[in-house]
Structure 1
């Protein structure tokens, strides 16, 4: 090894929310990780994602950053509601109530307050989110951040990856040697292109003009209770606006129609004023602007040997339900513990096959949820009645109908329990499936289940902890019947170095969900169930070998 080479376990390309989450989780597992980012340290991110899902917040809780995020973003008492109006300053059509962050843990009424989780969703813009993740990641032992650094290429061999790093300020290049490389470098991913993966799907669903503005007078012009998200519905222009700081700054999306195929088909200033419902005398400042295309694209593969893709590098879709960034973070959480298992030495290389086997099918499913919803929204915008603003009985009736339809269509994307808690992994080499099929789910609804591959349903333990707070860093065996013998599985895991914790469940009151019908339920750190039964398999070591990625899935007969 020459003097200009560096060594790390995992090289992460890209320091957005996905790359930073991956780095934090890897470092927390004792893995040395280097993050290469083309931006300067703490350079403000794009004003993109506005929503952190419950599943993501559950993982941020485990990583010790959830409360920092809760304390940031909109003012603590600012309503997180979604409101539909004839314009932002116009007549209200309907409202989806969502608790402010002050009341997020205590509110129990409304479609967004029933979440079966220790960490409900959090509405926060990426402008506030990413700096907190960056600071937290930078403070982790084992994380090295290389800013103004571009990965220009890499080669692989049986032992690792050699990446070429370009210093964008000096022009100097160097080689970094790592065991694995993960491309979290966005939709135009250079990592994806180098491994020859292709994005496949629908290239154009919706064109959008996005404008980040400063308008201190706007809040005072909006009637009624404030909201986090405003949908403007009128025959001239339909669009969306998000409150960024709760005071002066706003993000306005102008949704182009099918007959407007180019971004300059619509005057940006005119569209903004129609969406806001303000005249030519209203003053606002454009902070940044971006034209973008909503797509439904999924990479045909997420891996080439020691190189992986995560986040927008692996999938792009219309960001309904906030599931662009959140799906990427789910990728990172799924991949991190698999990579750590290899670096720590207790798993075989084949355990890494689980990443693509699990995440690619789910990504495909979620992308269709988002695309289907986008198509329904496009259809709804085309159907806005011309008299929706009329101050008469017919106008009032039109507004009532459009409001009802808007609520029914959109409550599922903003209160998306299914996308949070209903998805499951099938066909994974490290999940011991049984005879029961996972229950179906929709964007908004799901059925809690312990079918292997499903998320372990949450409940509160008798000592006040969340179930997930008691999970170990690897696998956790939940024992609901103290008479069930767990010793042979614990011994088999110890013999192979597989991290397995035993949790004798004592719940608060009658808090255990009905889905826990078995005496023993085995879960992983990312909360997915991998096996269940009333007694252990006859050969517990066979289950351990499957969980290590050492053997192919096979039927596991129970002990007599």
Structure 2
């Protein structure tokens, strides 16, 4: 083999997969068509808490926290008649300097060691790239395109094309993972098909430089602005907190083509500036919001993740973050096979777990998109009127906008509520996981749920104490776990023990023992070691 795993694509999903595999001692090669450090697209603006939790364990979270908007720049979400217009409502979100200490606002209560981080992909991806490229066991091939592959027993042989020299070469690997975006060659090659709703929303996106814009904005600045007026509705993100902005012009259903609306006119209506206001277009892109999920995520030793496996309207920032969740789910399963303790069937858990969750999250996003589209079509004609009726219209619109969108931007449910049900490597005990919404969830230790976070007596995060593979949480030190540890040694299965005596353990922990997976999901729970510990461990390792 030339490498254990070949990753196709060095975007955030592919880089995270490579980082996580390398941390487990797996040899990884990444093929990327762009040049090294070539600027990425100005897309994702939000790194979710679950993603930051893993970046913490991978040693890159602090680098990300120090990048993006200025430390004191508010991360609020504001609804106005235009950027320079009248404020309707505001969702308060702490700036990064206060992210760990803030106690006011709808997302400061989250039970996690790493709350979300607002940072554009322009800043995020270079940090991930630099970190990954320095890791032992990682090989990065830039300006390299994977043009095809052939699967044999226990090996994938890929054909790589050097885009500068036009020379081809062959690479042999145990596994190949396509993180190669919405037009994925890998997805097409394994015969997977995207299914769902092909068109939900058309959007004109424009990355602009406007040094004079911030001085025109009334009141406290914000990370995200929603402009709502009868002429145009759009969204604007502050990119650097000084002069660069990303403007999304949401086309209406009766505007079926991207050239249906003059781009410059729409930008000025969203910003609330006149024809004399100067700005520079850095990049622009027209794109279609969809809800599409691949009908399969795997063909033998080839897998797909991220946009290669699913595409949807990017509400709640869950395009990239869902892709990273794919990568983190797949990484430890591949490592289990490479290290030899995971049985072949452990790999079936990837599609069995991630595809249903992808369907759930995509439906959350599509449902929210439909509500937003309806809201944009119902903007009162007098929303900008300087009279009592106009003020009443703005107050009502502000209340509706807050109620609809606070769950999108403070989406604890999507972060912490999702669970893996019916997985072949989770030992269910018959209790149903609690339901969740985009914004809310109930902490639970039902197998398949995320192990609720708490701080250990020594001040560490529970997740900082997790080992690779599996971790046995013992809430009662009087329970003898020696037979289970002996069974793990017999199966060469990594299983560490964490005693939580002295910690303020959440009420959701109702059992004396829990086995948690490397990705923080509960795999088993009980009050005593089962009579046949080998049978339990064989279930968990896919045997």
TM norm structure 2: 1.00
Aligned to 1:228: 223
Looking at structure 2, the residues matched to 527 and 246 of structure 1 have their Cα atoms a distance apart, in angstroms, of 34
Q: Does 1:338 align with 2:333?
A: yes
Q: Deviations over 1:298-324 (max 9, x none)?
A: 000000000000000000000000000
Match of residue 505 from structure 2: 512
Map Cα deviations across residues 330-350 of structure 1 (whole Å, 9 max, x no partner). 000000000000000111111
The answer to whether 1:531 aligns with 2:524 is yes
SS in 1 for 2:90: strand
| Aligned positions of 1:379-458 closer than 5 A | 379-458=374-453
1:482 aligns with 2:439: no
**Distance in 2 separating the partners of 1:111 and 1:137:** 34
How far apart are residue 532 of structure 1 and its match? 0.2
C-alpha separation in 1, matches of 2:42 and 2:474? 45
Q: Which residue of 2 aligns with 1:558?
A: none
Q: How many residues align?
A: 543
**Among 249, 273, 293, the residue aligned to 2:244:** 249
After the TM superposition, which residues 105-184 of structure 1 pair with which residues of structure 2 at under 5 Å, given as runs? 105-184=100-179
Structure 1 residue matching 2:2: 3-state secondary structure:
strand
In the alignment, the residues of structure 2 paired with residue 158 and residue 178 of structure 1 have an alpha-carbon distance, to the nearest angstrom, of: 11
Aligned residue number for residue 4 of structure 2: 9
Match in the other structure for 1:365 = 360
Kept after mapping to 2: 8 A contact 1:362/1:425: yes
- Separation in 2, partners of 1:432, 1:293: 40
**1:425 positional shift:** 0.1
Q: 2-side partners of 1:468 and 1:441: how far apart?
A: 22
Asked if structure 2 preserves the Cα contact closer than 8 Å seen for 1:460 and 1:507, the reply is no
1:507, distance to aligned residue in structure 2 (A):
4.2
State the alpha-carbon separation in 2 of the partners of residues 426 and 435 from structure 1: 11
Moved over 3 A (4+): none
Q: Report the CA distance between 1:506 and its aligned residue.
A: 2.7
Q: Is 1:36 matched with 2:31? A: yes
Partner of 1:522: 515
In the alignment, which residue of structure 2 is the partner of 1:557?
Answer: none
CA distance in 1, matches of 2:457, 2:154: 47
Structure 2 contact 476–501 (Cα < 8 Å) conserved: no
Residue number among 199, 211, 215 corresponding to 2:210 in the alignment: 215
| TM value normalised by structure 1 | 0.97
String of CA shifts for 1:76-129, please: whole Å, max 9, x gaps.
000000000000100000000000000000001110111100000000000000
Paired residues of 2:30 and 2:139 also in contact (CA < 8 A): yes
Which residue does 2:67 correspond to in 1?
72
1:87 aligns with 2:82: yes
1:199: which partner in 2? 194
Q: Distance in 2 between matches of 1:308 and 1:507?
A: 43
Structure 1: tracts of 5 or more residues without a match: 1-5, 551-560
- 2:533 aligned residue (537, 540, 552): 540
Residue number in structure 2 paired with 1:460: 455
> What's the C-alpha RMSD, in Å, of the aligned pairs?
0.5
- CA distance, structure 2, for counterparts of residue 106 and residue 265 of structure 1: 47
Cα separation, 2, equivalents of 1:514 and 1:267: 56
In structure 2, C-alpha distance between the alignment counterparts of 1:534 and 1:547, rounded to whole Å: 18
Distance 1:205 1:383 in 2: 18
